[in-house]
Structure 1
């Protein structure tokens, strides 16, 4: 059964808010008014990306019969906040801990890859939604707001996917790479392409290309 402890819910909410604030700072710079205006928009993309990423780990862990619980890493939150003032976010606010006496590399790899796959799927869903409302965004303020939220959701989730797939330390990428090199290289390549497109071409231009404009 999919269960949460009170401390886990608290940790998820704290991490969700701080990471949202970090991405708002990156996008709004040091202008507090800009940060506050961007924050609600960022929270949608980050909220879906961060929460569902962690729930992906938790769901797969519990599917295999393990107890899994998200725990906050305060030092990671502070580091994320500090890096956001330098224009990027080192997003490591905490992790889902899986409690098991023994776990194979395959199961550990499948649990680890679940989070980044969720982010990749979300990025594509946000891109599809952004594409569907783009043309009406020129005449409707509601459609424009939806486009901005979806464009942010695409950018944030593609970044979260590629970041977590880096084979560094205790990030998901290290465990996926240990399990299966082929799956790791394909997954990080997809996430990397989505992120690179967001950073170089820009979401609006990607949408225009899809629409043939």
Structure 2
């Protein structure tokens, strides 16, 4: 039995492919800001724009396992080389950097939450979004998940994620619902599952079929169904 079940309305979703080497088109961001953004923030802003460009007000749940780790690594390299750390790099190195940039670009002062929970980051982000939506169904909630693998210098990372991004807009009137569930893990040889939560959720959204990920003693399951709202 799965211990926890919830359903979120999916009004729109967008994905930047895992492992893609192309640079996302973010022409909607002014050039001065665009030049300062990392690959992670560009992916995140691309899917966020795809999902919510026509919404003036939207709450944001931003999720990333590693966040701006590459930028942080660059600052550490500067320190080792006795070079000054860029104030801009420092200000954009925090986990919620993309959330701040997004709210400034949109001039939207709605609440924003940043989540990092290891290999289960996306699952908990969807749970947080559900809780926020249930508390106030009248205001859309945008989930943006973006990640890229840690530098090899950090050593092996269990359940490592590839580079990629996913955006999901929760809004009243959505014609599809994503059913989410979490509970104790099953025996690995009995339950085929996706390598990452991102792969599983994308499969559930695009294939209209159930998709599972399990690890750390838990399993997560997602499936999309048409009709109605949560």
The answer, yes or no, to whether TM exceeds 0.5 is no
Structure with the larger helix share:
1
Higher relative contact order (CA 8 A, sep 6+): 2
